[in-house]
Amino acid sequence: MLKGVTFMAKEGRQLEKIQISKLLGMYGYSADYLYPCLKPNANVVSLDFSHQCISHEESKAIGKVLADFRGIRELNLNNAQLSLQTTKEIADGLMRAKQLEILRLADNPNMKAAVSTILYNLAFSPKIRHIDISGLNTASADVAEALYKLIKISGAIETLNLKESGVVTHLTKDFFTALGENKTLKNLNLTTSKSLTSSQR
């Protein structure tokens, strides 16, 4: 792959969408090549690394690409087995990804508290309109607080998929007040299989 994208760059061609599924993490050396494979594609707008096991080094490469290539509009990391540490590496890159519109992080329960950092950072992202953290199942009060700030601050968010994220039981009155005041949100999924108390309903 590295040889292929290097040849493309020499020929003056670049990829706009890169999708690598069920491949990363399979071989010990894949992390060494991920950033060199992505680097020649400065015009990339969509990255899809779903359904695999993202290593620490690979998460660093993804974070670096997000920071370096300011035109990325979509990042899909659904079911990428993200951990607390790998999520933090990606969160650092997301701070600079000001053109990002769509972020998919579904089915990554091991992100845990690190997802709150991502959500808080995205509250200040001018174009983010779609966030999916469904299937997180381990959301905490910190995640609920970050969502509250996102809803209150963001001037672009349209879709929030929180299905089975575990956050519903932590949402406060402030969240719903901010929800009522938000002028951009169109789709909100709060589906949960957890039992709610009468005060949470």
93-141 pLDDT, tens digit each: 998 999 999 999 999 999 988 999 999 989 999 999 999 999 998 878 9
| 73 domain residue, yes or no | yes
Which ranges constitute the DSSP H helices of 100-172? 114-122, 141-153
37: in domain: yes
Within a domain: 102? yes
Per the structure, the count of domains in the chain is 1
Q: Is residue 194 part of a domain?
A: no
* Residue 195 pLDDT: 64
Please report, in angstroms and rounded to a whole number, the separation of the first and last CA atoms in the chain: 51
In a domain, 199, yes or no: no
Domain of 165, CATH number, reads 3.80.10.10
8 Å CB contact between 74 and 47? yes
Return the biggest CA–CA distance within the chain.
Answer: 64
Which domain range does residue 123 map to?
A: 2-189
In a domain, residue 42? The reply is: yes
How confident is the model at residue 193, as a pLDDT? 82
Contact between 142 and 117 under an 8 Å Cβ cutoff? The reply is no
User: Given strand 102-104, what is the order of strands in its sheet?
Assistant: 17-19, 46-48, 74-76, 102-104, 130-132, 159-161, 187-189
Strands (E), the chain: 17-19, 46-48, 74-76, 102-104, 130-132, 159-161, 187-189
Q: What does pTM read for this prediction?
A: 0.90
pLDDT higher at 21 or 52? 52
Write the pLDDT tens digit of every residue in 40-93: 888 999 999 999 999 899 999 999 999 999 899 999 999 999 999 999 999 999
Question: 58-68: string of b/e by CB count within 10 Å (b at 16+)?
Answer: bbbbbbbbbee
Query: Does residue 197 lie in a domain region?
Result: no
Cβ neighbour number for residue 84 with a 10 Å cutoff = 12
196 lies in some domain: no
Q: What is the pLDDT of residue 10?
A: 87
